[in-house]
Amino acid sequence: MIGLAGAGRLFNEEALRIMAKNNERPIIFPMSNPTSKMECTFADAMEATQGRAIFACGSPQEDIEALGPNGRTHCSASQANNMYIFPGLAFGAFLAQGNVVSDHMIMAAAEALPSLITEGELKNGRVFPSMENIRSISAHVACEVIKAAADEGNVSNTFLIRALAKGEEELKRYVQRHMYTPDYRSLVPPLDNSKMPASHHQR
């Protein structure tokens, strides 16, 4: 079931249990935002399906312990958010300096994600890789977008063309070197307390 109505709890317990009865791994995607408009919560879906649901949602949800056939099982929620795709897609297109973002490039970005899901994440029910690794995910997506652009002759960045010619590892290094890192040098020198007047230490 895929929910996009924005009308609240449309996926009730009865509907979820019917899905679980007829499917070993029922797919439950309540995509409406915000949380108050979701068709069901992660906890609703997991409890009704004994932790068997393949679940992704539009709003963030906490992981839970769901009661399954073998007792309580840890279940991880997946948020189907465009932050998995857009940064890497835009970054790859920017580095390529081509003249179009093609369907082939967009598909390459989408198809880059599944390979990043670990076995452990799959066992916990994740549909998408953990957001804790979003920078490496974005770098990987950018690389795949660049390769798709190159397939179509849509790369004009000569430095990137050289990196592509040297292989996968050089492409990864090129992308990582050009990623923005929000680290800044302090403009104010560190305060040396040893040089402060004694009166300041006594306050």
Tell me the pLDDT tens digit for each residue of 24-41.
Answer: 999 999 999 898 999 999
The verdict on domain 2-75 having CATH code 3.40.50.720 is yes
Comma-separated ranges of CATH 3.40.50.10380 domains in the chain = 82-177
Comma-separated ranges of CATH 3.40.50.720 domains in the chain = 2-75
Residues 6+ apart with CB under 8 A from 190: none
> What one-letter code names the amino acid at 23?
N
Alpha-carbon distance of 96 to 76, in angstroms, equals: 36
56: nearest Cα among 74, 83, 38, 71: 38
In this prediction, residues 182-196 reach a mean pLDDT of 74
The pTM score is 0.78
Paired tokens of 19: 């899905």
Q: State residue 189's pLDDT score.
A: 76
Assigned CATH class of 82-177: alpha beta
